[in-house]
Amino acid sequence: MPTDIADEALDFLLARAGLDLTAAQKAELKTVYPGIAAMAQRVRQPRGRMAELAHVYNFGPADLGADLGEDAP
Amino acid sequence: MTDTIPTIAEAARLIAAKRLSPVELTRACLDRVHALDGRLHAFVHLTEGRALAEARLAEAAIMAGGPKGPMHGIPIGLKDIVDTKGIPTTCGSKILEDNVPDADATCAELLAAAGTVLIGKTTTHEFADGGPSFDLPRLPARNPWNTDHFTAGSSSGTGAGIAAGLILGGIGTDTGGSIRGPAALCGIAGIKPTYGLVSRAGVAPAAFSLDHIGPMAWTAEDCALMLQVLAGHDPRDPASADWPVPDYTAGLGSGIKGMKIGVIHHFHEVDYKVSDGVRRGIDAAIATLRGLGAEIREVQLSPLQDWGACGSLISITERAAAYDEWARTRLGDFSERVQRRLMLGALVSGVDYVQAVRRRRELRAELKAAMAGLDVVLTASQTGEAPNLNEVPVWDTFAAPSFTMPFNVAGYPAITVCAGFGAGGLPVAIQLVGRPFEEPGLLRVADAFEKATDFRNARPNLAAAALPA
């Protein structure tokens, strides 16, 4: 992951997020990008594709209540 | 106005013995609010009339049949991100300046049912984030030990209010340290319970998977009394744990001889060096706990920065998601500090977020293994004493790693208690961490530590403190 960000790339990310920033805010945000990049590097461990998924869920009693049948198509 | 401020436990005993009137206690707190809060800014909204009415009701009920529990007639404050029916709840933001909820948050409901007296809503960083901010409808809270200094946040008003004796206890919320930070810098006690132990229903989110609600008070014993009221399953909160609620005060006073306490020295000695005052407080606390008969062991975890990176990426992303609509349409209505926090969301990719959540699983497993055979672990709570309000870094996320975030990442219970006084006579603190749902043991150690030291005997001298006009 690069530790700095080009103006065009930052503009793309901000547009995608729907954030309308001033030039001063963009300039300030660029200065902390290396901090975010360093954090992202720290959580990117060599764990492989079969490592536990981040988001799993279990069906609990509340998901299997009597109303489930009524709502089912 | 009384100069003697009782703890919740002391007040409860006096109230039960009919030697202290809840009305007099409430009036004493309100007198202190009127005398001091113009300078402390602990409250954003006072509920004086309601407080006196609740105190009268409590007094009548207690005179007729005794208290329903130790919180009956106790004056408290609720952080202003906690919904309160019919009472403004602004989250410290222009955006919700006119917001008056039509229902109570679960924690507010439980405390009211226990007979507490609501003095008012306490100051918070905007949406429990950033701060101190001077571009919001209300000014930030000031530290009662020196009003030029920061309280930490985001439960800043609750921390300041308790330290100054304006309330005996209050609610804080903690996504990366927002209970334990103000507890540390204001010299009080604050516990972030196990994730899911206390319902978040009706409390404004900061980051859903890191958010905790918990008590703040002068002592660990008082935190235990409040937690007894707050803990329990709530179907309104999807993260609420369906777990038996033990007696949190049962082990208090029974000593800690033979308990095993791990110390994460590398957090505060290698990963990030704390101030001399905090270091001395930690060293003295270890000696005190050893003197009480605890066995002290060394604990090694991943570097503090790994925990911080994991928690920050999750926090930044979940916050950006929670406030996405307002960030896109009303960014300029947030304080500059919160605008900066929300802007960060654009820099974190979906893969970054998922990797952070995967890392959380690994770090939790690591902490579980490290705590095998231990009752609690001890670490720093803050990097140093309270900074001057004007010296809090704008981008504090990157300024120094957080000593509290690791236990939001893990969801483990953690309490901060006062461990003395450092530079400028400002409080320093330690943080004790327990295994999930083992708050009784955690509170037992914290209580034993407090009772073996004399730090609970000193209150801020507000007459002598530097009080800005």
Per-residue pLDDT of chain B (469 residues; tens, 9 = 90+): 346 899 999 999 999 999 999 999 999 999 999 999 999 999 999 999 999 999 999 999 999 999 999 999 999 999 999 999 999 999 999 999 999 999 999 999 999 999 999 999 999 999 999 899 999 999 999 999 999 999 999 999 999 999 999 999 999 999 999 999 999 999 999 999 999 999 999 999 999 999 999 999 999 999 999 999 999 999 999 999 999 999 999 999 999 999 999 999 999 999 999 999 999 999 999 999 999 999 999 999 999 999 999 999 999 999 999 999 999 999 999 999 999 999 999 999 999 999 999 999 999 999 999 999 999 999 999 999 999 999 999 998 899 999 999 999 999 999 999 999 999 999 999 999 999 999 999 999 999 999 999 999 999 998 755 444 3
- pLDDT at B464 (0 to 100): 57
Q: Is position B178 annotated as part of the catalytic site?
A: yes
Best to test chain B binding among A5, A31, A39, A41 (most B CBs inside 10 Å): A39
| C-beta of residue B399 within 8 angstroms of C-beta of residue A31 | no
- Find, in chain B, the residue whose alpha carbon is nearest to that of A20: B328
Amino acid at B256: I
Provide the residue range defining the domain that includes B390: 8-457
Residue B466 lies in a domain: no
What's the gap in Å between the CA of A13 and the closest CA on chain B? Answer: 6
Q: Which two tokens stand for residue B162?
A: 């308790």
> How far is B429 from B417, CA to CA, in rounded Å?
6
Helices (H), A5-66: 7-17, 23-43
**B39, B108, B419 from B59: Cα distances, Å:** 31, 20, 36
Asked if A49 is an interface residue toward chain B (Cβ–Cβ < 8 A), one would say: no
Contacts of B342 in chain A (CB under 8 A): 19
Q: Do B343 and A62 touch (CB under 8 A)?
A: no
- Find, in chain A, the residue whose alpha carbon is nearest to that of B337: A25
Q: Which of A13, A19, A44 sits opposite B355 (nearest CB)?
A: A44
Residue B468 lies in a domain: no
- Find, in chain A, the residue whose alpha carbon is nearest to that of B400: A35
Residue A36: pLDDT above 70?
yes
- pLDDT at B468 (0 to 100): 44
Residue B467 lies in a domain: no
Which of the following is catalytic: B154, B199, B315, B335? B154
Helices then strands, counting H and E runs in chain A, come out as: 3, 0
| Cβ-based neighbours of B121, under 8 Å, separated by 6 or more | B43, B44, B45, B47, B77, B78, B79, B80, B82, B84, B87, B88, B89, B90
The CATH number of residue B407's host domain is 3.90.1300.10
Q: Is position B368 annotated as part of the catalytic site?
A: no
Q: Do B344 and A40 touch (CB under 8 A)?
A: no
ipTM > 0.90 for the complex: yes
Which of the following is catalytic: B93, B133, B178, B315? B178
Confidence at A57, pLDDT banded by 50, 70, 90 = confident
Nearest Cα to B347, choosing from A25, A27, A68, A17?
A17
Asked if A9 is an interface residue toward chain B (Cβ–Cβ < 8 A), one would say: no
- Dihedral sign, CA of B84, B88, B92, B95? positive
Q: Do A17 and B345 touch (CB under 8 A)?
A: yes
Q: Which of B308, B343, B357 sits opposite A21 (nearest CB)?
A: B343
- pLDDT at B367 (0 to 100): 98
CA dihedral B118, B122, B14, B112 (to 10 degrees): 30
Confidence at A49, pLDDT banded by 50, 70, 90 = confident
- pLDDT at B3 (0 to 100): 61
The total domain count for chain B is: 1
Q: Do B397 and A35 touch (CB under 8 A)?
A: yes
- pLDDT at B466 (0 to 100): 47
Q: Is position B94 annotated as part of the catalytic site?
A: no
| C-beta of residue B334 within 8 angstroms of C-beta of residue B91 | no
Determine whether B235 is exposed, middle or buried from the number of CB atoms within 10 Å of its CB (0-12, 13-18, 19+): exposed
- pLDDT at B462 (0 to 100): 86
- Find, in chain B, the residue whose alpha carbon is nearest to that of A53: B358
Q: Are strands B295-298 and B376-380 parallel, antiparallel or unpaired?
A: unpaired
Domain ranges of chain A: 7-71
Nearest Cα to B417, choosing from B261, B191, B138, B245?
B191
Q: Which of A5, A39, A54 sits opposite B309 (nearest CB)?
A: A39
Contacts of A54 in chain B (CB under 8 A): 354-355, 357-358, 360-361
> How far is B104 from B110, CA to CA, in rounded Å?
9
Residue B462 lies in a domain: no
